[in-house]
Structure 1
């Protein structure tokens, strides 16, 4: 999950597919981690799914 958070800090518009390449985790695994991070309040989505971006909450 730390790799995901770091990648979001570098590129807030990163997609699940790009995250998969960066972390070496399957796309489905990345989706699962994003869901978990959202539930923990560590990230949030800004604006709509298409054209929006992620924000890491410290």
Structure 2
């Protein structure tokens, strides 16, 4: 998922779920876990914002 987000920071949950092959609900759960662990953050509003993969 992180590599797909790096390629397209404006990717939607629906697009991610289609490419990964899991449900949108599971995709949302995985995004929540990635954000909680500090690998991913959201910049801007839900519509019009983008994702940033945190590189450490």
User: Shorter-chain TM-score category?
Assistant: over 0.9
Which residue, 3, 9, 14 being the options, matches 2:11?
14
- Dislocated runs of 4+, deviation >2 Å: none
Query: CA-atom RMSD, angstroms?
Result: 0.5
Give TM-score scaled by structure 2 length. Answer: 0.95
Instruction: Give unpaired runs (5+ residues) of structure 1.
Output: none
Instruction: Give unpaired runs (5+ residues) of structure 2.
Output: none
| Count of residue correspondences | 55
